[in-house]
């Protein structure tokens, strides 16, 4: 196995991110908060509201059976 190219690194990063999203509701709240804060730190504070909404829409405990997100200010990822 050779060195990891930038394209491969991007694919691996995307795969890991997708795995985190799929398992988000099974992660401990402390891990959720840590991942959320790291994402905000790496991408900038302006991503916070969009990321919170995105996670809220993906999180099974905050979505209704029809797939519409319920009203909630922030997802569990913010320690709420």
User: pLDDT tens, 21-77?
Assistant: 999 989 999 999 999 999 999 999 999 999 999 998 877 665 444 545 444 444 554
Is the dihedral angle over the CA atoms 49, 22, 39, 42 positive or is it negative? negative
So what's the pLDDT on residue 60? Answer: 60
Q: pTM to 2 decimals?
A: 0.68
Structure-token pair, residue 5: 């190219």
The span from the CA of 10 to the CA of 73, in Å, is 31
So what's the pLDDT on residue 2? Answer: 85
So what's the pLDDT on residue 63? Answer: 47
Give the model's confidence band at 1: pLDDT under 50 very low, under 70 low, under 90 confident, else very high: confident
């Amino acid at each position: 196995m050779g060195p990891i190219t930038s394209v491969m690194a991007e694919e691996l990063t995307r795969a890991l991110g997708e795995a985190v999203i799929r398992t988000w509701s099974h992660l401990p709240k402390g891990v959720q908060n840590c991942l959320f804060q790291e994402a905000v730190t790496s991408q900038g504070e302006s991503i916070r509201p969009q990321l919170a909404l995105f996670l809220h829409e993906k999180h099974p405990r905050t979505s209704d059976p029809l797939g519409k997100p319920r009203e909630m200010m922030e997802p569990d990822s913010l320690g709420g």
